[in-house]
Structure 1
């Protein structure tokens, strides 16, 4: 993990911390004690998220839309809409935390909404299906950006443990992500889909309890409290601002549910042209993106030269992470169906293959953390843009392995599971070059007053990536007439053909990141 060697300004948001205070507080294993409460809270939240995600496309294709001739496209459309929205709401959640609720109240609100959403998904009814996804979208918006930002507040300016701490936190994410498909996938396939969804709800409840216990024990100190405790108690139309946040969150659910329901609805975008888009296209590209762009431009104007150039670096890194996730997020859609239809699954089912990536994260996270520390001491640590380029290139190699597997298929169009494992391993090492580094750099490079908002934009990149991933996944749709899938060899050629194209495009973006490295290094102003 990269480290800053010459920090010019404090880039970490430390809400309500006394001037000169050490944010670390009590320590455990050389890190702030609060890190480990956040580690387990995030572990169980990710258990719930990835447990549900492992089942979602398979549930829609094999159950909810089983009789539809275009079931793959419908499932990919809803999955992409859900993924786009679940990573779009953190922008709003980050802004609300910065200005009103603070990190802690936002995290608690998000955890409660997500717990309700997971348990609602266990009820077999279309209203509950779309309503539960809407609850998860809103809850994630409050939870996701603020728990990551709260991790950043635990480390004081210039603390070289920061990147290692984020890697440990990232390992917690992936322990939950690894266990979830194994448990929820086993329950869903063997006992019924909604048992798997219910298990995800239990995981979210455990995450809620863990975070509440950490707040109650005082390990976070004064971090994450409302920036202005009296302001959130002010009343508007007889209701406090804090409660208005809760009310508006609930009122947004029907609108989000409608967007998910119309995930594959096409509407004319450019008059009489043939380019169509769904309802979510309009919201993302004609409402959300312009608003975010305006706010970013306003902040670029307000800040000084050093902060402005660092913020531009964050924007460039966000662009490259969007590219990475656009390809990576085939894992929950086309790669899951590829595993079900074209891989000899000898010791796990298709849903459980979603545990391969987090397994390698857990296996490699601490060695990678130690490796960055070693390179830092040796003054050989690559700059962040170089790590991004190497990460994207490794993802490209992973998809090239998936494509290459077609040369070793059996007569039924199935390939060895070891191709799937090797490809996932390469994608995972690429992820470790990018994602935890990116989380750390966002908190470090962003202007102090808007760090949670910028963290929200970082997660917004995943929103657009999920939308793009859905477009890519639809290229692999192989449903035949009367809902039957195409033959094994036909589907294999479709999947591997798309995977090969992904590989070559990824290599191109890796080269672009390398070319931009000198400029991004200059504009980082001493932050490695």
Structure 2
């Protein structure tokens, strides 16, 4: 057994982790490369208004994270992880390349292809990582943190390269590079399959179910056909994003019904653990709603209200991922070390700290206004330092959440529950769009956070009052609309993070031994 472990492990982890690490790295390269360009492309090239751009971006990003619910279920029941990941990768690659054609049909179709593809790719590659470890394997948290670093290597490099290409040669070259990244990710995953590093994991769960014919077509193939047929539907939802709240109600009803169904079919311990998974997902929704100002309002904040040095606005999207690359391994080592000396904080405490540091990062963005110059531009230091602080919060919460979903889920429903976890991003992006729209200046207004309690919080953090800003002109009004929102939501997140820590004990008990 010792010889076998030594030959199949790499750096103390299953060899399959290495292939999933690089496949996810390149997939995220494609995703974040395109994401960094999207809002700027809409506002600067397509000349959409801020409100319309935020609406399309929020609809696209939220739908990207609701389709994993369906993709996870189909993988559990019909496709298996391997086929689902390949199907998702092909759809996403097509989506990135479609963006090179400048026509509304191609624009909305490309976003839709990525939405559908991500539904098959994202939950199943994350669940695949969990399958590499036994339930009581102490390396699990560390393995997910390493995997999460792969996500962010792609997320750090992509905005730098894609934004550079877009600026020097044109927007469409940036989108092409994102598509090439997705193809590389697919090739890495296929190489891992050919090398048999995943052994018997991720195969079709039931070949009879896969081969069962409906309308003369095997169920497995019917899933692929249906995936392509849903593309126009999601394209219309993105185009008419103002009606997305109806989809939120539909998704919520589906989640409640299916989770209730699962809760009735599991043991008492599994039920309690599953409720904790739902609680963690709710916290992640709050985290995501604030965190995902990156890519939308924070990109425009950097473009309009920050004295940038060495980076353009799109490239600032790489700062968060760059810090994760620097911090992921130290955090991974930290969790392993703290486990050995039995001082590793439980997951509930980590979640509370994650939400708190997220809020603190956005408070720092608010503080930047205190050193605004005469052109209403703030020092870049605050953008970098604030991003560093909320990145620390992300490392306390996001990779740990991925790990806990695989532990808290009943084995039969692990991919679906991973989809539930990613649904937090669906809700988060939906609400992130609402938050981002609060930063848009219209009719000379200065936003909803200029009066009452939040007006006082904003003035304390930013050093700016509503009267001062109105007297200074449009540039300061735009700055104030950003920092007032960041300061207010930052304080809200800090308070909630503290409350999560204070009331952590009963939640910990419901985890029934899972740390």
TM-score (norm 2): 0.92
| CA distance in structure 2 between the aligned counterparts of 1:97 and 1:199, rounded to whole angstroms | 29
Q: Please say if 1:347 is aligned against 2:310.
A: yes
State which of 146, 152, 161 in structure 2 corresponds to 1:174.
152
Question: 1:271 matched to which residue of 2?
Answer: none
- Unpaired runs of 5+ in structure 2? 445-472
Deviation at 1:378, TM superposition (A): 1.6
Q: Please say if 1:58 is aligned against 2:61.
A: no
Alpha-carbon deviations, 1:214-265, whole Å to 9, x = none?
A: 011100000000111122112111111111101111111111110011113x
- SS in structure 1 at match of 2:503: helix
Question: 2:138 matched to which residue of 1?
Answer: 160
| CA distance in structure 1 between the aligned counterparts of 2:144 and 2:7, rounded to whole angstroms | 17
Question: 2:512 matched to which residue of 1?
Answer: 525
Contact 1:84/1:463 (8 A) holds in 2: yes
Structure 1 consecutive aligned stretches of length 4 or more whose deviation exceeds 2 Å: 22-25, 478-481
| CA distance in structure 1 between the aligned counterparts of 2:216 and 2:328, rounded to whole angstroms | 50
Question: 1:497 matched to which residue of 2?
Answer: 484
State which of 230, 234, 246 in structure 2 corresponds to 1:282.
246
Contact 2:351/2:396 (8 A) holds in 1: yes
Question: 1:187 matched to which residue of 2?
Answer: 165
Contact 2:135/2:407 (8 A) holds in 1: no
| CA distance in structure 1 between the aligned counterparts of 2:206 and 2:513, rounded to whole angstroms | 33
Deviation at 1:441, TM superposition (A): 0.3
**Size of the alignment, in residue pairs?**
484
| CA distance in structure 2 between the aligned counterparts of 1:519 and 1:342, rounded to whole angstroms | 44
Question: 2:8 matched to which residue of 1?
Answer: 26
Contact 1:25/1:32 (8 A) holds in 2: no
Deviation at 1:189, TM superposition (A): 1.7
Deviation at 1:43, TM superposition (A): 0.1
| CA distance in structure 1 between the aligned counterparts of 2:325 and 2:185, rounded to whole angstroms | 19
Q: Please say if 1:368 is aligned against 2:331.
A: yes
Deviation at 1:490, TM superposition (A): 1.6
Q: Please say if 1:444 is aligned against 2:407.
A: yes
Alpha-carbon deviations, 1:423-462, whole Å to 9, x = none?
A: 0000100000000000000001110100000000000010
Q: Please say if 1:412 is aligned against 2:405.
A: no
Contact 1:24/1:32 (8 A) holds in 2: no
Question: 2:431 matched to which residue of 1?
Answer: 468
Structure with greater helix share of residues: 2
Alpha-carbon deviations, 1:359-417, whole Å to 9, x = none?
A: 00000000011111111112111111111111111111111110011010000000111
Q: Please say if 1:304 is aligned against 2:267.
A: yes
Alpha-carbon deviations, 1:309-349, whole Å to 9, x = none?
A: 00011010111011101100001111000000001111000
State which of 47, 51, 57 in structure 1 corresponds to 2:29.
47
State which of 315, 329, 335 in structure 1 corresponds to 2:292.
329
Contact 1:390/1:510 (8 A) holds in 2: yes
Deviation at 1:478, TM superposition (A): 2.8
Q: Please say if 1:319 is aligned against 2:282.
A: yes
Flag the structure with more relative contact order, 1 or 2, with Cα contacts below 8 A and sequence separation at least 6: 1
- SS in structure 2 at match of 1:332: coil
Question: 1:213 matched to which residue of 2?
Answer: 191
Deviation at 1:191, TM superposition (A): 1.4
| CA distance in structure 2 between the aligned counterparts of 1:28 and 1:375, rounded to whole angstroms | 22
Deviation at 1:515, TM superposition (A): 3.3
| CA distance in structure 2 between the aligned counterparts of 1:181 and 1:23, rounded to whole angstroms | 38
Provide the aligned C-alpha RMSD in A.
1.4
- SS in structure 2 at match of 1:411: coil
Question: 2:348 matched to which residue of 1?
Answer: 385
State which of 195, 199, 207 in structure 2 corresponds to 1:229.
207
| CA distance in structure 1 between the aligned counterparts of 2:181 and 2:201, rounded to whole angstroms | 25
Deviation at 1:51, TM superposition (A): 0.2
Q: Please say if 1:114 is aligned against 2:114.
A: no
| CA distance in structure 1 between the aligned counterparts of 2:350 and 2:217, rounded to whole angstroms | 49
| CA distance in structure 1 between the aligned counterparts of 2:179 and 2:344, rounded to whole angstroms | 41
- Unpaired runs of 5+ in structure 1? 1-21, 265-277
Are the structure 2 counterparts of residues 479 and 54 from structure 1 closer, same or farther at C-alpha, using a change threshold of 3 Å? farther
Aligned pairs for 1:258-273 (under 5 A) are 258-264=236-242
Alpha-carbon deviations, 1:38-79, whole Å to 9, x = none?
A: 000000000000000000000001111x2x5xx000000000
Contact 1:391/1:430 (8 A) holds in 2: yes
Deviation at 1:512, TM superposition (A): 2.6
